[in-house]
Amino acid sequence: MTSHSAADTEQLARASFFKRLLAMIYDTLVAIAVAMCAAMVLIITMVILLKNGVLSLQGFTEPAELIQASTGYKAFIQLWVALWVAGFFLWFWKKGGQTIGMRAWRLRIYSTTETPVTWSRLVLRLIFSLGGAGTLLVLFDFKHRLALQDRVAHTEVLQLSAQANHHKSW
């Protein structure tokens, strides 16, 4: 995602809490699908490795029993899924400034500084979104309509026109 000048964004309004909430609901559904696919791929891989003796069954008769009983395997699966979900948000934010839900509701992330939004700023944005709770700050920030993650990462979420949201204008 590139930096945009003040002239590019000054005519666009910052996104309302309601629009952000709608985009978050949409993105949550997509993130759940990403999580399910990531978990399925890893679990199937683990079952194949356990069934073929590449990994030890540790005395269990079935891979599912071991995976359910093992804190390590469950933690690994959860970490794997979390990385994929985080990657979903980070990749879309970096490549186009929009997730799928943000695109549907014509929202886009822009830098509030003259520098482009970096991967590290996007990671900060993801962490300080607090699973969406950081967006609640928009309800109390009448003047600026910035969420916690926007303040920390020096970004803003703007409401695009239908023309500005069209992929050909990227």
**What's the pLDDT at 10?**
65
pLDDT at residue 8, rounded to an integer: 56
The residues spanned by each domain of the chain are 6-169
Residue 161 has a CB neighbour count (10 Å cut-off) of: 11
pLDDT for 107-153, tens place per residue? 999 999 999 999 999 999 999 999 999 999 999 998 999 999 999 99
Regions of the chain short of the pLDDT cut 50: 2-3, 5-7, 169-170
pLDDT value of residue 166? 75
Q: pLDDT value at position 49? A: 97
Contacts of 128 (CB under 8 A, 6+ apart): 134, 148, 149, 152, 153
pLDDT of residue 11: 81
